[in-house]
Amino acid sequence: MEVESSVSLHNYFGVLMKNTDMVIDDLTLPKLYKIEYEWEKFIHGKPINKDIVPKLIYESWQRSMEYGVNPHLNNRQILSSEEIKKQISDSKSFIDRFGNIILALQRIAKKKGFNIQLFDNRARNVQVLASSYLHQGLELKDMFPVPASSSEMDIGTTAISIALRENKSVQVLGPEHFNKYLHDTYCSAAPVHNSSGEVIGALNIASYSYKQNKIDTLVLVTFLARILDNVSFTMDTLDKLGIYDLAISKTFEYLPQGAVYIDNTNSINRYNDKIIDMLNINRQNIAPELSKYVSMLLEYDTNDCIEKKEIFLDIKGRRKSFLMSTRKIFNEKYEDKVILLENINPNLPGNRAIYTFDDIIGNNEKFIEMKMLAQKISKSNGSVLIFGENGTGKELFAQAIHNASPRKSKPFVAINCGAIPNDLAESELFGYEPGAFTGASANGKAGKMEIAFGGTLFLDEIESMPLNIQIKLLRALSTSKICRVGGIKEIPIDIRVISATKKDLLIEADKGNFREDLYYRIGIITLKLPALRERKDDVPILAKYFIDIYSKEYDLKNLKVEDDFLKALSCYYWRGNIRELRNVIERSIILLDDEKKLSLNQLPEKIIKAYSYEDLNDKLRLIKDKKSTNLMKLGEEIIIDTVLNEEKGNLSRAANRLGISRPTLCSKINSNEKLKNIVLKFRLE
């Protein structure tokens, strides 16, 4: 069983090979020309100069001649479909151990213009066999062309054949190959060993260019071969100890991603705690819930490995985005798979918008009007200014506009102007060149306006933007060009600007805090979002929405909600708007008792008082039609009734709140049968 090389292994080898190719400089060329001349003499049966041709090469030429290899023919034998299957069967353990690693190395090497190849101890190309291994059962016409081998007996002198024979690292350069068809190939090879030190294969680096380079590939191939030796030793040791599965399980726990291992039937083999937390799975019900998510993840999967593909999952009623990667695993004759998940923080600026108009909830007439206007303007490219108090959903609207616009596939970059120190605001928005200021990155940095190219730039709390930056922003929006801090080059930009504020910018302009000309540039279209207290008819709708979200998050089923709970929420002022409502709902669910019923008991005192005063006002409104001689008495009864209920029959506290003495309160209660019953009720409790 062998896991395909991880991202970290991929990056490690990528750095190692960054500047690598064959080391054949101009000083080597005269020597190669001389060797080619000696090769011509050798194949025509003439004596050669052994001081020019290395001893190992000359001995290999002799063996190649004895084997009857034709030096002028491209005589590599290509295997049939059945022969390929037989070789795969013969080399299966070798392929299982190294196949995925060498395929990963090969992909990296190709980008650098050379090949890395792994051969078994019979000089058969393992990565070609490994690739064919994935295509078993295909017709011959569909198979990869697989050469029989690269041994001396088949194609003459090669670095692979000498490394296998001599058990040492070697180079075979151009005309040192016995076969003329390989004279433009430059190779370095090193043997690979098992845990007992026996040669089980060879690693080869090949190039078709003699120009370059800086790192000797003989050193590199030797180093890589030693790594494979270590892999072989580790695998042999684990097999002997019988703890391979344990090793994988422990590895899973240390992975930075959430991970789940599935077999060829898509059954879950193992998983780590991180993926359980990421998917918010109930630990009492892991198997069915994880299986459900695995089925969703496999819908994103293809035959090839996925590398950090953005996907979306519904997690307890919330749409959440992740980066998904997959790794193939060879297990016996089947192909298993590991799925890796990484969190994406939607609040990080410069990434993506996740909310749409479907996420904007409410039936209030004024609110619906704003939503319809936002939907209409989303199709245009005009700048939008969203006005609203904190917590009214300004960024929610901005994201929805972006996702309904032609720019939806491009970046949505958010920046909070009030959260950035004044001295950093310019570089954050426009970027900076290398060395622009003390502490600047040596590579420079792109600003938010560059990052948002083609998409939307959301400027939250724009009223907090420094005046000097406002001037530069106005010019950038007017010319569609910016200049980085410390730079002179103008960089074109293509962005739609959506701004948000909680202040009247024209009043701020009159105070000298905001540029009026910038206001008209960013406020082509203005949306004014109503505060939650102005749309109280939406409070129960929003409350039920948040109750549904948090009941799923806290795994609460059959949750009941009393009418008084929702009525009380509708009576409150909601200074913090929707954000405050959401926090109150979560708090209430956390404070639930065993009855699983949301009631006034879970609400903060300030909301209960607001509800009581509203209830009192309702009662007072009912006595308006009574005779004027009774109004004072009825009003007094209602007020005392309300306070006694709030204080749960405690006469001292009730008298204190009413501003009268306790004896006076007792006198009023004794003269009113209804009030006496209230006190009696609480005493019986």
Q: What pLDDT score does 495 carry?
A: 94
Question: Residue 303: which pLDDT band, with cuts at 50, 70 and 90?
Answer: low
DSSP state for residue 516 in the 8-state scheme: H
- 600 confidence band (pLDDT: 50, 70, 90): confident
* pLDDT over 90, % of the chain: 34
CA angle 246, 251, 257 (to 5 degrees): 140
Residue 100 forms part of a structural domain: yes
Q: What would the DSSP string read from start to end of 175-198?
A: GGSSSGGGTT-EEEEEEEE-TTS-
Q: List C-alpha distances in Å: 371 to 134, 352, 356, 367, 460.
A: 53, 21, 11, 6, 19
Q: Is the pLDDT higher at 83 or at 197?
A: 197
Whether 616 is in a domain gets the answer no
With a cut of 50, say whether residue 403 has pLDDT above it. Answer: yes
Q: Over 60: is that where the pLDDT of 280 sits?
A: yes
Residue 525: its H or E element: strand 525-528
Give pLDDT tens digits for 616-668: 555 555 555 555 456 567 667 778 887 888 788 899 988 888 888 999 888 88
Q: Which residues of 196-229 are buried (b: 16+ CB within 10 A; e: fewer)?
A: eeeebbbbbbbbeebebbebebbebbbebbebbb
382 and 437 both lie in a single domain: yes
Can you read off the two tokens belonging to residue 17? Answer: 């090979």
**663 and 650 together in one domain:** yes
For 72, the enclosing helix (H) or strand (E) is none
Same structural domain for residues 379 and 399?
yes
Q: Decide if 29 is inside a domain.
A: yes
| Same domain assignment for residues 440 and 514 | yes
Q: Which residues of 522-559 are buried (b: 16+ CB within 10 A; e: fewer)?
A: bbebbbebbbbebbeebbbebbebbbebbbbeeeeeeb
In this structure, the answer to whether residues 74 and 138 fall within a common structural domain is yes
Cβ atoms of 4 and 305 within 8 Å: the answer is yes
Residues 543 and 469 in one domain: no
Q: Is residue 617 part of a domain?
A: no
For 320-339, how does the pLDDT look when each residue is reduced to its tens digit (9 = 90+)?
Answer: 778 888 877 665 455 678 88
| Position 134 confidence tier, pLDDT thresholds 50, 70, 90 | very low
Q: Which of 54-63, 67-76, 306-315, 550-559 has the lowest mean pLDDT?
A: 306-315
Residues 94 and 80 in one domain: yes
The pLDDT of residue 676: 85
CATH of the domain at 269: 3.30.450.20
Per DSSP, what are the bridge partners of residue 318?
315
Residue 79 DSSP label:
P
Specify the pTM.
0.47
| Pair 268, 211 in one domain | no
220/517: higher pLDDT: 517
Q: Do 399 and 336 fall into the same domain?
A: no
Residue 291 DSSP one-character state: H
- The whole-number pLDDT of residue 195 equals 80
**Predicted pLDDT at 511:** 95
Confidence of residue 285 (pLDDT cuts 50, 70, 90): confident
Residue predicted with more confidence, 556 or 29? 556
Residue with tokens 């009576």: 571
In a domain, 639, yes or no: yes
Q: Report the pLDDT value the prediction gives residue 144, as an integer from 0 to 100.
A: 39
Q: Which of 50-64, 72-86, 503-517, 528-542 has the lowest average pLDDT? A: 72-86
pLDDT (tens digit, 9 = 90+) per residue, 177-229?
999 988 888 889 999 998 888 898 999 888 876 654 334 688 888 888 888 88
Indicate the residue among 343, 366, 381 that finishes a domain.
Answer: 343
**Quick one: pLDDT at residue 399?**
96
Position 565 confidence tier, pLDDT thresholds 50, 70, 90: very high
pLDDT band at 579 (very low <50, low <70, confident <90, very high): very high
Q: pLDDT category, 243, cuts 50, 70, 90? A: very low
Residue 509 has pLDDT above 90, yes or no: yes
161 burial type by CB count under 10 A (0-12 exposed, 13-18 middle, 19+ buried): buried
Structural contact between residues 428 and 448, judged by C-beta atoms closer than 8 angstroms: yes
Q: Do 414 and 519 fall into the same domain?
A: yes
Q: What is the CATH number of the domain that holds 210?
A: 3.30.450.40
Give residue 18's pLDDT. Answer: 44
Whole-angstrom distance, CA of residue 594 vs CA of residue 251: 40
| Res. 494: pLDDT tops 80 | yes
Residue 250: inside a domain = yes
| Residue 424 sits in the same domain as residue 444 | yes
What digits encode the pLDDT tens for the residues 114-131?
A: 778 888 888 887 655 444
Tell me if 350 is assigned to some domain. no
Answer whether residue 24 shows pLDDT above 50: no
Q: What is the mean pLDDT of residues 611-617?
A: 63
CATH number of the domain residue 652 falls in = 1.10.10
Residue-wise pLDDT for 407-456, tens only, equals 988 889 999 998 888 888 999 999 888 877 777 776 678 889 988 888 99
Q: Which of 193, 210, 233 corresponds to the end of one domain?
A: 233
pLDDT at 343 over 60: yes
Within 13 Å, how many C-alpha atoms sit on residue 264's CB side?
Answer: 7
Interstrand relation of 597-598 and 170-173 (parallel, antiparallel or unpaired): unpaired
What is the domain range of residue 503? 357-528
Mean pLDDT, the chain, as a whole number?
81
Per-residue confidence (pLDDT) for residue 535, from 0 to 100? 93
Confidence of residue 318 (pLDDT cuts 50, 70, 90): low
Do residues 527 and 373 lie in contact, with contact meaning Cβ atoms separated by under 8 Å? yes
Across the range 603-619, mean pLDDT stands at 72
* Domains held by the chain: number: 5
Lowest-pLDDT choice from 16-25, 234-243, 280-289: 16-25
Q: Which pLDDT score is estimated for 191?
A: 95
> Are 470 and 430 contacting, i.e. CB atoms less than 8 angstroms apart?
no
Tell me, yes or no, whether 238 lies in a domain: no
**pLDDT tens-place string over residues 349-402:** 446 788 999 999 999 999 999 999 999 999 999 999 999 999 999 999 999 999
Domain boundary among 610, 637, 664: 610
402 and 281 together in one domain: no
Which single residue is written with the structure tokens 């009026």?
516
Tell me, what CATH number does 448's domain have? 3.40.50.300
> Rounded to whole angstroms, how far apart are CA atoms 76 and 333?
29
Residue 569: CATH number of its domain = 1.10.8.60
Q: Give the pLDDT confidence of 667-677 residue by residue, as tens digits.
A: 888 888 888 88
Cis peptide before 601 (omega within 30 of 0): no
